[in-house]
Structure 1
Amino acid sequence: MNTQKKIRILFVCMGNICRSPTADAVFRHHVKSAGVDHLIEVDSAGTHAYHIGNPPDERSQRTALKRGYKMDDLRARAVESDDFDEFDYILAMDKENLQLLLQRSPRHHHGKIHLFMKYGESYEDDTEVPDPYFGGHQGFELVLDMVEEASQGLLKHLHETIIFNRNNS
Protein backbone atom coordinates (compact mmCIF):
# COMPACT_ATOMS: atom_id res chain seq x y z
CA MET A 1 0.00 0.00 0.00
CA ASN A 2 1.29 3.45 -0.95
CA THR A 3 1.22 5.72 2.11
CA GLN A 4 3.14 8.51 0.42
CA LYS A 5 1.89 11.99 1.30
CA LYS A 6 0.40 13.82 -1.66
CA ILE A 7 1.90 17.08 -2.87
CA ARG A 8 -0.77 19.68 -2.09
CA ILE A 9 -1.14 22.80 -4.22
CA LEU A 10 -3.39 25.78 -3.47
CA PHE A 11 -4.14 28.43 -6.11
CA VAL A 12 -5.20 31.80 -4.69
CA CYS A 13 -6.82 34.94 -6.12
CA MET A 14 -9.05 37.55 -4.52
CA GLY A 15 -12.57 36.10 -4.65
CA ASN A 16 -11.93 32.53 -5.83
CA ILE A 17 -14.38 32.75 -8.73
CA CYS A 18 -12.23 33.55 -11.81
CA ARG A 19 -8.48 33.03 -11.79
CA SER A 20 -7.83 30.53 -9.00
CA PRO A 21 -10.67 28.13 -9.92
CA THR A 22 -9.46 28.31 -13.53
CA ALA A 23 -5.97 27.33 -12.35
CA ASP A 24 -7.49 24.62 -10.13
CA ALA A 25 -9.46 23.08 -13.01
CA VAL A 26 -6.67 23.36 -15.59
CA PHE A 27 -3.97 21.99 -13.31
CA ARG A 28 -6.20 19.13 -12.08
CA HIS A 29 -6.86 18.23 -15.73
CA HIS A 30 -3.13 18.18 -16.56
CA VAL A 31 -2.29 16.21 -13.40
CA LYS A 32 -4.91 13.60 -14.27
CA SER A 33 -3.80 13.46 -17.92
CA ALA A 34 -0.19 12.92 -16.78
CA GLY A 35 -1.33 10.04 -14.56
CA VAL A 36 -0.03 11.60 -11.36
CA ASP A 37 -3.34 12.43 -9.68
CA HIS A 38 -2.47 9.86 -7.00
CA LEU A 39 0.53 12.05 -6.10
CA ILE A 40 -0.89 15.57 -6.35
CA GLU A 41 -3.91 17.23 -4.74
CA VAL A 42 -5.22 20.58 -6.01
CA ASP A 43 -7.47 23.23 -4.44
CA SER A 44 -8.18 26.94 -4.74
CA ALA A 45 -9.23 29.75 -2.42
CA GLY A 46 -9.60 33.50 -2.20
CA THR A 47 -7.99 36.05 0.08
CA HIS A 48 -11.38 37.76 0.46
CA ALA A 49 -14.65 36.14 1.54
CA TYR A 50 -16.79 37.82 -1.12
CA HIS A 51 -18.16 34.73 -2.84
CA ILE A 52 -17.95 31.83 -0.35
CA GLY A 53 -20.00 28.86 -1.55
CA ASN A 54 -20.54 30.24 -5.05
CA PRO A 55 -19.51 28.40 -8.22
CA PRO A 56 -16.88 29.97 -10.49
CA ASP A 57 -17.91 32.95 -12.62
CA GLU A 58 -20.00 31.78 -15.58
CA ARG A 59 -17.62 33.47 -18.02
CA SER A 60 -14.68 31.56 -16.55
CA GLN A 61 -16.63 28.32 -16.77
CA ARG A 62 -17.69 28.90 -20.39
CA THR A 63 -14.17 29.83 -21.50
CA ALA A 64 -12.64 26.83 -19.72
CA LEU A 65 -15.29 24.39 -20.97
CA LYS A 66 -14.55 25.38 -24.59
CA ARG A 67 -11.04 24.03 -24.02
CA GLY A 68 -12.20 20.92 -22.18
CA TYR A 69 -11.79 22.04 -18.56
CA LYS A 70 -14.70 21.43 -16.23
CA MET A 71 -15.04 23.49 -13.06
CA ASP A 72 -18.74 23.54 -12.20
CA ASP A 73 -18.03 21.31 -9.19
CA LEU A 74 -15.83 23.96 -7.53
CA ARG A 75 -17.11 26.35 -4.86
CA ALA A 76 -15.44 29.52 -3.64
CA ARG A 77 -13.82 29.49 -0.24
CA ALA A 78 -11.53 31.80 1.68
CA VAL A 79 -7.94 31.02 2.60
CA GLU A 80 -7.82 29.65 6.14
CA SER A 81 -4.92 29.66 8.59
CA ASP A 82 -4.65 25.84 8.36
CA ASP A 83 -3.94 26.16 4.62
CA PHE A 84 -0.45 27.42 5.39
CA ASP A 85 0.31 24.15 7.20
CA GLU A 86 -1.61 21.86 4.87
CA PHE A 87 -0.35 22.96 1.44
CA ASP A 88 3.13 22.50 -0.03
CA TYR A 89 2.70 25.19 -2.71
CA ILE A 90 0.52 28.28 -2.28
CA LEU A 91 0.42 30.09 -5.60
CA ALA A 92 -1.00 33.60 -5.88
CA MET A 93 -2.33 35.03 -9.10
CA ASP A 94 -1.05 38.57 -8.45
CA LYS A 95 1.26 40.60 -6.22
CA GLU A 96 -1.51 42.03 -4.04
CA ASN A 97 -2.75 38.57 -3.09
CA LEU A 98 0.84 37.36 -2.71
CA GLN A 99 1.46 40.12 -0.16
CA LEU A 100 -1.76 39.30 1.71
CA LEU A 101 -0.74 35.64 1.90
CA LEU A 102 2.74 36.54 3.16
CA GLN A 103 1.25 38.87 5.79
CA ARG A 104 -1.20 36.22 7.03
CA SER A 105 1.17 33.27 7.08
CA PRO A 106 3.74 32.31 9.68
CA ARG A 107 7.22 33.30 8.49
CA HIS A 108 8.38 29.67 8.27
CA HIS A 109 5.83 29.08 5.47
CA HIS A 110 6.95 31.99 3.27
CA GLY A 111 9.12 29.70 1.13
CA LYS A 112 6.06 27.89 -0.22
CA ILE A 113 4.19 31.07 -1.26
CA HIS A 114 4.92 32.37 -4.78
CA LEU A 115 3.33 33.94 -7.83
CA PHE A 116 1.87 31.21 -10.05
CA MET A 117 3.37 32.67 -13.24
CA LYS A 118 6.83 31.87 -11.88
CA TYR A 119 6.19 28.54 -13.63
CA GLY A 120 5.24 30.07 -17.00
CA GLU A 121 8.33 29.57 -19.14
CA SER A 122 7.73 32.57 -21.41
CA TYR A 123 6.92 34.92 -18.50
CA GLU A 124 9.03 36.76 -15.94
CA ASP A 125 8.86 35.39 -12.39
CA ASP A 126 6.95 38.47 -11.20
CA THR A 127 4.25 38.34 -13.91
CA GLU A 128 0.69 38.62 -12.63
CA VAL A 129 -2.39 36.86 -13.94
CA PRO A 130 -4.75 39.80 -14.61
CA ASP A 131 -8.19 39.78 -13.03
CA PRO A 132 -10.71 39.42 -15.89
CA TYR A 133 -13.78 40.10 -13.72
CA PHE A 134 -14.53 43.63 -14.96
CA GLY A 135 -13.36 43.11 -18.54
CA GLY A 136 -14.60 41.37 -21.63
CA HIS A 137 -14.29 37.86 -23.03
CA GLN A 138 -10.68 38.43 -24.13
CA GLY A 139 -9.60 38.74 -20.49
CA PHE A 140 -10.89 35.26 -19.69
CA GLU A 141 -9.12 33.85 -22.76
CA LEU A 142 -5.87 35.52 -21.69
CA VAL A 143 -6.18 34.13 -18.16
CA LEU A 144 -6.72 30.67 -19.58
CA ASP A 145 -3.70 30.99 -21.92
CA MET A 146 -1.49 32.05 -19.02
CA VAL A 147 -2.83 29.38 -16.66
CA GLU A 148 -2.32 26.65 -19.25
CA GLU A 149 1.32 27.61 -19.74
CA ALA A 150 2.08 27.97 -16.02
CA SER A 151 0.29 24.68 -15.30
CA GLN A 152 2.54 22.87 -17.75
CA GLY A 153 5.59 24.52 -16.18
CA LEU A 154 4.47 23.64 -12.65
CA LEU A 155 3.83 20.04 -13.62
CA LYS A 156 7.27 19.87 -15.23
CA HIS A 157 8.84 21.37 -12.08
CA LEU A 158 7.05 18.88 -9.83
CA HIS A 159 7.99 15.99 -12.06
CA GLU A 160 11.66 16.98 -12.18
CA THR A 161 12.15 17.99 -8.56
CA ILE A 162 9.74 15.95 -6.49
CA ILE A 163 8.03 13.08 -8.29
CA PHE A 164 11.25 11.94 -9.91
CA ASN A 165 13.05 12.03 -6.55
CA ARG A 166 10.25 10.10 -4.81
CA ASN A 167 10.32 7.39 -7.44
CA ASN A 168 14.10 7.07 -7.14
CA SER A 169 14.35 6.93 -3.36
Structure 2
Amino acid sequence: MNILFVCTGNVSRSFLADMLFKYEIESHKMDNIYSSSAGLFASQGSPPDPKMVDYLLKKEIPVKRHEARQISRQDVEWADRILVMEKEHERMIEASWPDVKEKVELLGRFASGVQVADDVIDPFGRSPYHYRLAQSQITLAMRSLVKSLIS
Protein backbone atom coordinates (compact mmCIF):
# COMPACT_ATOMS: atom_id res chain seq x y z
CA MET A 1 0.00 0.00 0.00
CA ASN A 2 1.23 3.47 -0.91
CA ILE A 3 0.11 6.50 1.10
CA LEU A 4 0.67 10.10 0.00
CA PHE A 5 0.39 12.95 2.52
CA VAL A 6 -0.43 16.33 0.99
CA CYS A 7 -0.48 19.87 2.35
CA THR A 8 0.19 23.31 0.93
CA GLY A 9 3.98 23.68 0.97
CA ASN A 10 5.27 20.22 1.95
CA VAL A 11 7.47 21.67 4.70
CA SER A 12 5.29 21.41 7.83
CA ARG A 13 2.18 19.23 7.96
CA SER A 14 2.71 16.65 5.23
CA PHE A 15 6.40 16.43 6.16
CA LEU A 16 5.53 15.73 9.80
CA ALA A 17 2.81 13.24 8.87
CA ASP A 18 5.18 11.35 6.58
CA MET A 19 7.99 11.18 9.18
CA LEU A 20 5.62 10.07 11.97
CA PHE A 21 3.96 7.51 9.70
CA LYS A 22 7.29 6.03 8.60
CA TYR A 23 8.36 5.77 12.25
CA GLU A 24 5.11 4.06 13.29
CA ILE A 25 5.21 1.63 10.36
CA GLU A 26 8.82 0.68 11.14
CA SER A 27 8.03 0.35 14.87
CA HIS A 28 5.18 -2.05 14.11
CA LYS A 29 7.29 -3.93 11.54
CA MET A 30 4.63 -3.47 8.89
CA ASP A 31 5.96 -4.51 5.49
CA ASN A 32 4.66 -3.44 2.10
CA ILE A 33 3.37 -0.07 3.32
CA TYR A 34 5.11 2.97 1.91
CA SER A 35 4.59 6.69 2.24
CA SER A 36 5.62 9.94 0.67
CA SER A 37 4.59 13.57 0.85
CA ALA A 38 4.06 16.49 -1.50
CA GLY A 39 2.60 19.98 -1.57
CA LEU A 40 0.09 21.68 -3.80
CA PHE A 41 2.14 24.89 -3.85
CA ALA A 42 5.54 23.58 -2.77
CA SER A 43 8.67 25.60 -3.34
CA GLN A 44 10.76 22.81 -4.84
CA GLY A 45 13.74 21.86 -2.68
CA SER A 46 12.78 23.85 0.42
CA PRO A 47 13.92 22.31 3.71
CA PRO A 48 11.44 21.16 6.35
CA ASP A 49 10.13 23.61 8.92
CA PRO A 50 12.66 23.68 11.82
CA LYS A 51 9.82 23.67 14.36
CA MET A 52 8.55 20.37 12.96
CA VAL A 53 12.09 18.94 12.91
CA ASP A 54 12.54 19.96 16.57
CA TYR A 55 9.25 18.26 17.47
CA LEU A 56 10.43 14.99 15.93
CA LEU A 57 13.84 15.19 17.59
CA LYS A 58 12.26 15.83 21.01
CA LYS A 59 10.23 12.66 20.51
CA GLU A 60 13.45 10.84 19.49
CA ILE A 61 12.06 10.14 16.05
CA PRO A 62 14.68 10.03 13.30
CA VAL A 63 14.38 12.80 10.74
CA LYS A 64 14.98 11.50 7.25
CA ARG A 65 16.23 13.74 4.46
CA HIS A 66 13.45 15.86 3.02
CA GLU A 67 13.08 18.52 0.37
CA ALA A 68 9.71 20.02 -0.47
CA ARG A 69 8.22 18.97 -3.76
CA GLN A 70 5.17 19.68 -5.86
CA ILE A 71 2.48 17.02 -6.19
CA SER A 72 2.37 15.42 -9.64
CA ARG A 73 0.29 13.05 -11.74
CA GLN A 74 2.89 10.38 -10.99
CA ASP A 75 2.29 10.85 -7.24
CA VAL A 76 -1.47 10.45 -7.44
CA GLU A 77 -1.12 7.39 -9.66
CA TRP A 78 1.43 5.85 -7.26
CA ALA A 79 -0.76 6.40 -4.19
CA ASP A 80 -3.43 3.99 -3.03
CA ARG A 81 -4.56 6.61 -0.50
CA ILE A 82 -4.05 10.37 -0.59
CA LEU A 83 -4.39 11.97 2.84
CA VAL A 84 -4.81 15.73 2.74
CA MET A 85 -4.70 18.32 5.51
CA GLU A 86 -7.61 20.53 4.41
CA LYS A 87 -10.90 20.26 2.55
CA GLU A 88 -9.50 22.78 0.07
CA HIS A 89 -6.62 20.40 -0.72
CA GLU A 90 -9.17 17.67 -1.38
CA ARG A 91 -11.07 19.95 -3.79
CA MET A 92 -7.90 20.99 -5.62
CA ILE A 93 -6.68 17.43 -6.13
CA GLU A 94 -10.09 16.28 -7.32
CA ALA A 95 -10.27 19.23 -9.73
CA SER A 96 -6.82 18.46 -11.14
CA TRP A 97 -7.21 14.67 -11.23
CA PRO A 98 -10.93 13.70 -11.10
CA ASP A 99 -10.07 10.04 -11.62
CA VAL A 100 -8.39 9.80 -8.17
CA LYS A 101 -11.34 11.17 -6.18
CA GLU A 102 -11.95 7.86 -4.40
CA LYS A 103 -8.37 7.84 -3.06
CA VAL A 104 -8.55 11.25 -1.34
CA GLU A 105 -9.34 11.54 2.39
CA LEU A 106 -8.96 14.19 5.08
CA LEU A 107 -6.25 13.24 7.56
CA GLY A 108 -8.06 15.02 10.39
CA ARG A 109 -10.78 12.38 10.35
CA PHE A 110 -8.25 9.96 11.83
CA ALA A 111 -7.68 12.17 14.89
CA SER A 112 -10.20 10.18 16.92
CA GLY A 113 -11.01 10.82 20.53
CA VAL A 114 -10.60 14.58 20.33
CA GLN A 115 -12.81 17.37 19.12
CA VAL A 116 -11.00 18.76 16.12
CA ALA A 117 -12.13 20.09 12.80
CA ASP A 118 -11.54 17.85 9.84
CA ASP A 119 -8.86 20.30 8.69
CA VAL A 120 -5.41 20.06 10.25
CA ILE A 121 -4.51 23.64 11.13
CA ASP A 122 -1.72 25.22 9.08
CA PRO A 123 0.89 26.41 11.59
CA PHE A 124 3.44 27.76 9.12
CA GLY A 125 4.58 31.21 10.22
CA ARG A 126 2.11 31.29 13.09
CA SER A 127 2.36 31.12 16.88
CA PRO A 128 3.77 28.25 18.99
CA TYR A 129 0.16 27.42 19.93
CA HIS A 130 -0.69 26.73 16.28
CA TYR A 131 2.36 24.48 15.92
CA ARG A 132 1.43 22.52 19.05
CA LEU A 133 -2.14 22.12 17.81
CA ALA A 134 -1.06 20.89 14.36
CA GLN A 135 1.54 18.56 15.88
CA SER A 136 -1.06 17.12 18.23
CA GLN A 137 -3.64 16.67 15.46
CA ILE A 138 -1.14 14.94 13.17
CA THR A 139 0.32 12.73 15.91
CA LEU A 140 -3.15 11.53 16.97
CA ALA A 141 -4.15 10.96 13.36
CA MET A 142 -1.01 8.89 12.67
CA ARG A 143 -1.67 6.64 15.67
CA SER A 144 -5.26 6.11 14.58
CA LEU A 145 -4.30 5.55 10.94
CA VAL A 146 -1.67 2.94 11.82
CA LYS A 147 -4.10 1.24 14.20
CA SER A 148 -6.66 1.02 11.38
CA LEU A 149 -4.06 -0.57 9.10
CA ILE A 150 -3.11 -3.14 11.74
CA SER A 151 -6.70 -4.31 12.31
Q: Which residue is 1:74 aligned to? A: 66
Unpaired runs of 5+ residues, structure 1, are 1-6, 161-169
**Shift in CA distance, 123/98, structure 1 to aligned 2, threshold 3 Å:** farther
How far has the Cα of 1:30 moved from its partner?
0.6
Q: Which residue is 2:12 aligned to? A: 18
How far has the Cα of 1:157 moved from its partner?
1.6
Q: Which residue is 1:131 aligned to? A: 122
TM-score normalised to the size of structure 2? Answer: 0.92
SS at match of 1:82: helix
How far has the Cα of 1:122 moved from its partner?
2.2
Q: Which residue is 2:108 aligned to? A: 117
How far has the Cα of 1:128 moved from its partner?
0.7
1:28 aligns with 2:28: no
The count of corresponding residues between Structure 1 and Structure 2 is: 151
Q: What is the distance in 2 between the residues matched to 1:27 and 1:68?
A: 14
SS at match of 2:18: helix
Does structure 2 retain, via aligned residues, the 8 Å contact 1:10–1:87? Answer: yes
How far has the Cα of 1:65 moved from its partner?
1.5
Structure 2 letter corresponding to 1:41: Y
Trace 1:85-104 onto structure 2 (pairs within 5 A): 85-104=77-96
Q: Deviations over 1:70-121 (max 9, x none)?
A: 33511111100112211011010011111111111133x2111010112121
Q: Deviations over 1:7-59 (max 9, x none)?
A: 100100000000000000111111111111x221111000013x211221111
How far has the Cα of 1:63 moved from its partner?
2.0
* Aligned residues with identical type, % of pairs: 29
Alignment root-mean-square deviation, CA: 1.7
How far has the Cα of 1:124 moved from its partner?
6.7
Unpaired runs of 5+ residues, structure 2, are none
Q: Which runs of 4+ in 1 moved over 3 A?
A: 123-126
Q: What is the distance in 2 between the residues matched to 1:63 and 1:139?
A: 13
How far has the Cα of 1:123 moved from its partner?
4.8
Q: Deviations over 1:132-163 (max 9, x none)?
A: 01212222222111111111111122222xxx
**Shift in CA distance, 110/77, structure 1 to aligned 2, threshold 3 Å:** same
Q: What is the distance in 2 between the residues matched to 1:14 and 1:142?
A: 17
